[in-house]
C-alpha cells in the first residue's frame, strides 16, 4: 500500500485539540497509558495463541521495551504483542468506537483537573501521547502476517494521519513519540524508571530499558601545554534490564505488598486516578482454587448507570490473561467492584458462554460476592466511633480509626446500586438489608439502618414505617407523615429511584414488618389509644353522606374516599391499597417508557380541616372536590391530569 492520507473522526479531532491544548495537570500519565496498551496487546496475543502457537513466531517471551534518543528527541514504547494490520491501524488509531466519547469530551473541556482520570476511563489513552509529542509514528505488524505486511502510521495530532506499508521483521507495535522541546525530560533513564515504578511496576510483563554507565571524557589535543578533556556522560551499554517487578501482584504474599503497591495496582487495572476505598486479597482453596484481589473504588465511575457497558473482573487462568470484563464473576449490583480473579481450575480456552454454565465459575462468583459483602460489613461496623469517656476514638486501633466514615463515603457513591441486590440476590438479601442506610424524619443524613430504627422503636410499635418520594424535601413534608410527627414516631425517608422497586422484594427486617405510610388503611395499632379509635369511628359514620358525594364526584380519579386520622394540618392525602402499585413507581415506569397499570388512589380527607368542613352544602362542591384531589396529588409528587382545569377552578374560587 502506498502512502495514504485519512481524516480523523470528528470526535478524535476534537479530542486531540483538547489533548494538545489543555492536558497539562499530570503529563506523565501518557507513559502509563501507552505501557498499559502495550501490555494489553501482549495479553491479546497470549489469548489468541492458545489455539495457534505459531503466532509466537520465534519470540515466545512477551515484553515491553522503552528506549529514547536524545539527539533525535524521541521516546519509543515497543511491544511484541498482537500488532495491527493496516485496516486495524486506521480503525483503532483514527476513530473512537467506545460509547461515551462525547460525554468524555464535554467533561474534559469543563473540568481539566479530572483529565488524567477521564482519559483512561474512556479508553482513549493512545492520544495522551500528544501531551508530550508534536508527532507520533506507529510502526506495527500483526502476529502471523509476513514482514512485508508491516504498517507505518504517522500524525501530527491535527486533522489527519498517514498510513503506508513497510517491511517490519518483528511482530508487535512501536509507538515513537517525537517529543516537544518542553518534554525532553522524558528522554531520560531516571525519569522513565520513576514513572514506571509509580504507575506500571505491577505489569505482569517485563518492562525493559537499555542499561547505561558513566564514561569519562576523552583527552583531546591542544596547542597549549595543558591539553584538554571532553566532558564525560552516560552511555548505553547494549544490555537490557527489567525495570519493573514483572510479577503478578496477586500471586505474591500479602506480607510482601505495601498499601501503596496495592493502590498503584488498582489505578493500573481500573484507569482510575484516585486510590481505592478498600480492598481484599485472598487465596481460596478447596473444591475450587483461585486467588482474588478485589477493590472498592472511592468514587463512582461516570458510566455506572450505563446498562450497555460491560462491567466485571479481569479473569486469569494460571496467570494467563483470559478476558477483561468477566461479568459472570460478579453480580450486577456489585458491578462497581474492580479487581482480578486467577483460577487454577478453569480451562485456558474458556469462553463467555462457558462461564455462564461452569460450576467452578458459580463457586467463584459466590465466593467473590461474600468477600465483597464482608468488606462492606467491616466498613459499616467501624463507620461510627464508639462513645468513650476519654474521647470517642481513644478505644480504637489505628486500623479502625482509618475506617471511620468510610462506609458513609461508599454509600453516598454506590448505595443505590447496592439496593438492586435485594431483587437479584435472594441468598444474600438479609446481609444486604443490614447494609442499607436511609434518612428519616428525625435524621436528615443518610445514616439510619434498619437496626438503628428498630432500636429506637416506641413501646407497642409493631412495624418499621417508611415513605418513598422523589426528593428528601418531598418526603419530609408529605402529609402522610403528619400524625407520625405528632406522636414522635420515626419514619424512614426513601428517595432513591430504586427504592420503590427494591422494597417489593423485602417485607420485613429481623422479624419486624415494613409498612409504607402511603399504603393501606391507617392503623397505628397499640400506638393509638381506644378513645382515638372510637372518635375516628364516630367521625367516619357522621361523614358517610359527604364521602358518598365526594366518591361520586371523583369516580374517574379515586378508587375510594374515606376519612382518616393520619392527617393533622393537611386537608387530604392520597394512598394506595396494601397490594397496589404506588403512584411514584407507576410514574417512574412511564418515564422510562415502560407500560404501567393505571393507578386509582384512595383519597383520604381530614374531617377537622376547614376546607373539608366547607365542602358540606357548598355551591362549589364539585370544584372543591377536584381541587382537594389535585392538591393531594401535587403534595404526593404528581401532576393533575388537566393542569389548566385545576388552575381555572382555583382562580374561580379566589375571585
**Topology adopted by domain 4-215+235-242:** Heat Shock Protein 90 (3.30.565)
The mean per-residue pLDDT over the stretch 66-85 comes to: 95
Strand-strand pairing, 133-141 and 150-155: antiparallel
Integer Cα distance of 72 and 266 in angstroms:
35
Quick check: 390 pLDDT over 90?
no
For residue 586, give every residue at least 6 positions away whose Cβ sits within 8 Å of its Cβ, in sequence order, or none: 596, 597, 598, 599
Which SS3 state, helix, strand or coil, does residue 226 take? coil
Domain ranges of the chain: 4-215+235-242, 249-381, 423-522, 527-654
Does the pTM of the predicted model rise above 0.85?
no
pLDDT digits (tens, 9 = 90+) for 469-527: 888 998 998 998 998 998 899 999 999 988 988 988 999 999 999 998 888 777 776 66
Higher pLDDT, 100 or 609: 609
For residue 193, give every residue at least 6 positions away whose Cβ sits within 8 Å of its Cβ, in sequence order, or none: 209, 243
Distance from the Cα of residue 572 to its chain's centroid: 41
Cell of 105: 469530551
Highest mean pLDDT among 211-215, 218-222, 370-374, 440-444: 370-374
User: pLDDT-derived band of residue 387, with 50, 70 and 90 as boundaries?
Assistant: low
The mean per-residue pLDDT over the stretch 310-321 comes to: 78
The mean per-residue pLDDT over the stretch 314-330 comes to: 82
Cell of 520: 393501606
**Topology adopted by domain 423-522:** Rossmann fold (3.40.50)
User: Looking at residue 438, what is its pLDDT?
Assistant: 95
pLDDT digits (tens, 9 = 90+) for 545-600: 898 999 999 998 998 998 888 888 999 998 888 777 777 777 777 766 777 677 78
**Burial letters 470-505, b for 16+ CB under 10 A, else e:** beeebbbebbbbbbbeeeebbbbbbbbbbbbbbbee
User: Looking at residue 115, what is its pLDDT?
Assistant: 43
User: Looking at residue 385, what is its pLDDT?
Assistant: 58
Question: Which residue shows C-alpha cell 427504592?
Answer: 499
User: pLDDT-derived band of residue 374, with 50, 70 and 90 as boundaries?
Assistant: very high
Specify the CATH number for 527-654; select among 1.20.120.790, 3.40.5.50, 3.40.50.2300, 2.40.37.10.
Answer: 1.20.120.790
The mean per-residue pLDDT over the stretch 343-357 comes to: 78
Residue 339 backbone class (left: φ over 0; alpha: ψ -120 to 50; beta: rest) = left
Quick check: 74 pLDDT over 80?
yes
User: Looking at residue 110, what is its pLDDT?
Assistant: 46
The mean per-residue pLDDT over the stretch 329-354 comes to: 86
The DSSP bridge partners found for residue 219 are: 229
Ordered alpha helix ranges (H), 382-441: 398-403, 406-418, 421-424, 429-435
For residue 319, give every residue at least 6 positions away whose Cβ sits within 8 Å of its Cβ, in sequence order, or none: 204, 248, 251, 342
By the 8 A CB rule, do 575 and 581 touch?
no
To 10 degrees, the CA torsion angle through 610, 612, 614, 616? Answer: -150
By the 8 A CB rule, do 41 and 82 touch?
yes
Cell of 265: 495496582
User: pLDDT-derived band of residue 23, with 50, 70 and 90 as boundaries?
Assistant: low
For residue 72, give every residue at least 6 positions away whose Cβ sits within 8 Å of its Cβ, in sequence order, or none: none
Average pLDDT, the chain: 84
What is the arrangement of strands in the sheet containing 133-141, beginning at the earlier edge strand?
4-7, 160-166, 150-155, 133-141, 172-179, 74-79, 64-69, 207-215, 233-242
Please check whether the two domains, 4-215+235-242 and 527-654, share a CATH topology: no
User: Looking at residue 206, what is its pLDDT?
Assistant: 93
Residue 5 backbone class (left: φ over 0; alpha: ψ -120 to 50; beta: rest) = beta
Cell of 401: 480509626
- Return the percentage of the chain with pLDDT > 90, whole number: 41
Enclosing H/E stretch for 168: none
By the 8 A CB rule, do 563 and 607 touch?
yes
pLDDT digits (tens, 9 = 90+) for 248-263: 889 888 998 999 989 9
- The phi and psi torsions of 542 (rounded to 5 degrees) equal -65, -35
- Return the percentage of the chain with pLDDT > 70, whole number: 85
User: Among the listed ranges 124-128, 382-386, 413-417, which one has the minimum average pLDDT value?
Assistant: 382-386
Cell of 304: 455506572
Neighbours of 565 (CB within 10 A): 20
CATH of domain 249-381: 3.30.230.80
Integer Cα distance of 480 and 632 in angstroms:
10
User: Among the listed ranges 451-455, 491-495, 523-527, 639-643, which one has the minimum average pLDDT value?
Assistant: 523-527
Quick check: 227 pLDDT over 70?
no
Enclosing H/E stretch for 368: helix 359-381
User: pLDDT-derived band of residue 460, with 50, 70 and 90 as boundaries?
Assistant: confident
Quick check: 104 pLDDT over 50?
no
Integer Cα distance of 373 and 436 in angstroms:
12
Amino acid at each position: 500500500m502506498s502512502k495514504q492520507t485519512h481524516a480523523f473522526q470528528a470526535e478524535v479531532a476534537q479530542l486531540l485539540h483538547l489533548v494538545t491544548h489543555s492536558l497539562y495537570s499530570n503529563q506523565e500519565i501518557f507513559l502509563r497509558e501507552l505501557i498499559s496498551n502495550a501490555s494489553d496487546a501482549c495479553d491479546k496475543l497470549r489469548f489468541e495463541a492458545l489455539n495457534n502457537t505459531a503466532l509466537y513466531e520465534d519470540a515466545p517471551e512477551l515484553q515491553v521495551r522503552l528506549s529514547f534518543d536524545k539527539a533525535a528527541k524521541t521516546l519509543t514504547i515497543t511491544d511484541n504483542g498482537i500488532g495491527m494490520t493496516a485496516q486495524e491501524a486506521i480503525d483503532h488509531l483514527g476513530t473512537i468506537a467506545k460509547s461515551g466519547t462525547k460525554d468524555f469530551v464535554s467533561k474534559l473541556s469543563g473540568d481539566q483537573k479530572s483529565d488524567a482520570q477521564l482519559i483512561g476511563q474512556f479508553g482513549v489513552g493512545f492520544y495522551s501521547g500528544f501531551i508530550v509529542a508534536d508527532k507520533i509514528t506507529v510502526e506495527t505488524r500483526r502476529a502471523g502476517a509476513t514482514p512485508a505486511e508491516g504498517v507505518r502510521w504517522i500524525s501530527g495530532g491535527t486533522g489527519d494521519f498517514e498510513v503506508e506499508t513497510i517491511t517490519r521483521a518483528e511482530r508487535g507495535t512501536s509507538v515513537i513519540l517525537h517529543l516537544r522541546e518542553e518534554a525532553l525530560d522524558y528522554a531520560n533513564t531516571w525519569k522513565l524508571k520513576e514513572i514506571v515504578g509509580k504507575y506500571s511496576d505491577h505489569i505482569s510483563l517485563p518492562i525493559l530499558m537499555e542499561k547505561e554507565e558513566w564514561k569519562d571524557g576523552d583527552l583531546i589535543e591542544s596547542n597549549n601545554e595543558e591539553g584538554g578533556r571532553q566532558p564525560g556522560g552516560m552511555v548505553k551499554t547494549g544490555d537490557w534490564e527489567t525495570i519493573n517487578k514483572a510479577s503478578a501482584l496477586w500471586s505474591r504474599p500479602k506480607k510482601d505488598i505495601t498499601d501503596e503497591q496495592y493502590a498503584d495496582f488498582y489505578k493500573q487495572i481500573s484507569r482510575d486516578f484516585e486510590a481505592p476505598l478498600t480492598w481484599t486479597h485472598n487465596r481460596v482453596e478447596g473444591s475450587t482454587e483461585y486467588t482474588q484481589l478485589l477493590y472498592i473504588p472511592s468514587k463512582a465511575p461516570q458510566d455506572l448507570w450505563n446498562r450497555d457497558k460491560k462491567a466485571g473482573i479481569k479473569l486469569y487462568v494460571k496467570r494467563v490473561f483470559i478476558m477483561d470484563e468477566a461479568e459472570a464473576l460478579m453480580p450486577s449490583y456489585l458491578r462497581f467492584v474492580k479487581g482480578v480473579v486467577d483460577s487454577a481450575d478453569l480451562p485456558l480456552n474458556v469462553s463467555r458462554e462457558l462461564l455462564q454454565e461452569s460450576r467452578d465459575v458459580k463457586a467463584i462468583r459466590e465466593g467473590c460476592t461474600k468477600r465483597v459483602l464482608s468488606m462492606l460489613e467491616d466498613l459499616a461496623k467501624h463507620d461510627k466511633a464508639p462513645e468513650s469517656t476519654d474521647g470517642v476514638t481513644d478505644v480504637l486501633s489505628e486500623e479502625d480509626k482509618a475506617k471511620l466514615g468510610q462506609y458513609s463515603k461508599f454509600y453516598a457513591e454506590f448505595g443505590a446500586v447496592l439496593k438492586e441486590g435485594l431483587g437479584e440476590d435472594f441468598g444474600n438479601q438479609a446481609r444486604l438489608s443490614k447494609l442499607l442506610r436511609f434518612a428519616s424524619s428525625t435524621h436528615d443524613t443518610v445514616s439510619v439502618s434498619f437496626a438503628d430504627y428498630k432500636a429506637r422503636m416506641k413501646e407497642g410499635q409493631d412495624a418499621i414505617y417508611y415513605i418513598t418520594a422523589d426528593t428528601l424535601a418531598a418526603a419530609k413534608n408529605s402529609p402522610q407523615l403528619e400524625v407520625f410527627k405528632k406522636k414522635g414516631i420515626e419514619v424512614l425517608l426513601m428517595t432513591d429511584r430504586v427504592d420503590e422497586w427494591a422494597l417489593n422484594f423485602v417485607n420485613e427486617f429481623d422479624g419486624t414488618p415494613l409498612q409504607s405510610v402511603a399504603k393501606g388503611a391507617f392503623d397505628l395499632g397499640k400506638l393509638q389509644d381506644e378513645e382515638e379509635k372510637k372518635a375516628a369511628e364516630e367521625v367516619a359514620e357522621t361523614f358517610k353522606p359527604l364521602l358518598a358525594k365526594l366518591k361520586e364526584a371523583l369516580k374517574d380519579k379515586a378508587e375510594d374516599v374515606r376519612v382518616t386520622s393520619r392527617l393533622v394540618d393537611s386537608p387530604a392525602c392520597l394512598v394506595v391499597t396494601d397490594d397496589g402499585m404506588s403512584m411514584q413507581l407507576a410514574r417512574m415506569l412511564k418515564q422510562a417508557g415502560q407500560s404501567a397499570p393505571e393507578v386509582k388512589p384512595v383519597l383520604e380527607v381530614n374531617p377537622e380541616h376547614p376546607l373539608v368542613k366547607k365542602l358540606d352544602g357548598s355551591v362549589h362542591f364539585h370544584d372543591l372536590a377536584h381541587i382537594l384531589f389535585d392538591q393531594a396529588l401535587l403534595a404526593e409528587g404528581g401532576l393533575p391530569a388537566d393542569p389548566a382545569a385545576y388552575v381555572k377552578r382555583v382562580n374561580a374560587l379566589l375571585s
